[in-house]
């Protein structure tokens, strides 16, 4: 990191609230990374957090006293929790447990951490960390929707192995440098981009439809194109919500990322994000799921015959938006990944799904487009077909976002 980069944030203040989860150990490194960039950091630890890390460790790294008691007479004689909440530039909650998110969503203030969160008038950034089942639970997703509506920013969580032996999925706290990038994005001066004042929804990645606790139906989508589009839209000043299936990509700076696993979870997250000005639906959503996923691992029975899997159709997210009775996006862009009859299939999808544009890309194995770093696309609309050269997915994203900006400029 250059001296110029560090100088940009020298003296900026972060109030770090450490929740009670095993990921609290990452927050020690987060403090170090923030201080490297010139931030001053104060830490509040919940009682549960002290079971995973010590106030002594956070105090040594911040160089400040660590706060943990709402009723500390030495701090509260001048309403200390209000000062903590206001004497900062941003409040970061890392790890943000399911319990902390629920308390935030419902305005509870029974300890120092939640009292400060309720009292602050500064931006709040949360880095969720929890078991995948807790993350995907409808209650957690409802709480996140409430917090997003209140303006709370979210970074992560990521997908990977859990602390619990043998478990993996979405729920790992973002890495410290990812959280630092999100902090910098919130606090950095924003240029007036061409999409300033517009809300953009992007979906990305595959969905995983469980068969049993260890198997699922999926596809090879990496999510890279959708993440690049979300980043490009944010660079143009848009308020971006990115709903992502399971991918191993860092959250784009300045983007509110909602992580999901299944098509039904993605459908719920998309509907929670409405209304939007533009929706760009790049996700490779599984068409089918099993009628009922098994609660235990399906074993071979020695007969040589595979078990019968009864499949049912998943919700059609793109068509739902295209024909939405009250909150259809002003501009709806779908993606058509095809191996045969690319243009014919894209045109049929344009009409069937009720889209404005279809970005058609050839995903034959020899192209390397599916999961790769490049894409060759055609923009199919009712006005005709626009062919683009083979481009890096980041360049496709910038070019597409430029077209979206042009659309609204001429509206």
> Which residues are catalytically annotated?
219
Alpha-carbon distance 313 to 302, whole Å?
30
Q: Are 240 and 263 in contact (CB under 8 A)?
A: no
CA 369 to chain centre: 23
Q: Are 14 and 90 in contact (CB under 8 A)?
A: yes
> Which of 340, 347, 339 lies closest to 379, judged by CA?
347
Q: Are 378 and 399 in contact (CB under 8 A)?
A: no
- Helix, strand, coil percentages (3-state) for the chain, rounded to 5, are 35, 25, 40
Is 353 within any annotated ligand binding site? yes
* b (16+ CB within 10 A) / e for 366-401: eeebbeeeebbbbbbeeeeeeebeeeebbbbbbebb
> Which of 64, 67, 56 lies closest to 18, judged by CA?
67
Alpha-carbon distance 177 to 39, whole Å?
14
Is 67 within any annotated ligand binding site? no
Using H for helix, E for strand and C for coil, what is the string for 324-393?
Answer: CCCCCCCEEEEEEEECCCHHHHHHHHHHHHCCCEEEEEECCHHHCCCCCCEECEEEEECCEEEECCCEEH
Is 90 within any annotated ligand binding site? no
Alpha-carbon distance 156 to 127, whole Å?
6
Is 147 within any annotated ligand binding site? no
| Geometric angle at alpha carbon 379, from 378 and 383, rounded to 5° | 130
Is 316 within any annotated ligand binding site? yes
Alpha-carbon distance 250 to 177, whole Å?
10
Is 315 within any annotated ligand binding site? yes
Is 317 within any annotated ligand binding site? yes
Is 299 within any annotated ligand binding site? no
Residue 142 structure tokens: 């409802």
Binding residues: 287, 297, 315-318, 335, 349, 353
Binding residues for CTP: 287, 297, 315-318, 335, 349, 353
């Amino acid at each position: 990191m250059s001296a110029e980069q560090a100088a940009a944030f020298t003296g900026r203040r972060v109030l770090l609230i450490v929740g009670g989860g095993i990921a609290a150990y990452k927050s020690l490194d987060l403090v170090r990374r923030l201080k490297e960039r010139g931030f001053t950091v104060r830490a509040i630890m919940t009682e549960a957090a002290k079971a995973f890390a010590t106030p002594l460790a956070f105090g040594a790294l911040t160089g400040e006293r660590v706060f943990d008691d709402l009723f500390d007479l030495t701090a509260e004689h001048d309403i200390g929790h209000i000062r903590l909440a206001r004497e900062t530039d941003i409040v970061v909650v890392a790890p943000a447990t399911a319990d902390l998110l629920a308390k935030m969503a419902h305005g509870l203030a029974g300890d120092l951490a939640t009292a400060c969160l309720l009292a602050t008038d500064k931006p709040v950034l949360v880095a969720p960390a929890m078991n995948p089942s807790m993350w995907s639970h409808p209650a957690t997703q409802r709480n996140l929707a409430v917090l997003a509506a209140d303006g709370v920013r979210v970074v992560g969580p990521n997908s990977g192995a859990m602390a619990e032996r043998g478990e993996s999925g979405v729920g790992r706290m973002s890495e410290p440098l990812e959280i630092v990038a999100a902090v910098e994005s919130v606090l950095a001066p924003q240029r007036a981009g061409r999409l300033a004042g517009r809300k953009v929804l992007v979906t990305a990645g595959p969905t995983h439809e469980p068969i049993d606790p260890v198997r699922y139906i999926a596809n090879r989508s990496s999510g890279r194109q959708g993440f690049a589009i979300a980043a490009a839209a944010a660079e143009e000043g848009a308020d971006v919500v990115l709903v992502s299936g399971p991918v191993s990509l860092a959250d784009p700076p300045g983007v509110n990322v909602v992580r999901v696993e299944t098509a039904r979870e993605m459908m719920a997250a998309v509907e929670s994000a409405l209304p939007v000005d533009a929706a760009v639906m790049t996700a490779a959503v599984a068409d089918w799921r099993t009628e009922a996923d098994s609660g235990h691992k399906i074993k071979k029975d020695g007969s040589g015959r595979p078990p019968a899997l009864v499949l049912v159709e998943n919700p059609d997210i793109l068509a739902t938006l295209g024909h939405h009775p009250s909150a259809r996006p002003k501009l709806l862009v779908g993606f058509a990944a095809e191996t045969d009859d690319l243009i014919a299939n894209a045109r049929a999808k344009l009409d069937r799904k009720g889209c404005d544009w279809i970005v058609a890309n050839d995903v034959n194995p020899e192209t390397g487009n599916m999961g790769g770093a490049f894409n060759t696309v055609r923009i199919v609309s009712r006005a005709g077909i626009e062919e683009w050269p083979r481009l890096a997915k980041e360049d496709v994203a910038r070019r597409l976002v430029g077209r979206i900006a042009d659309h609204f400029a001429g509206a």
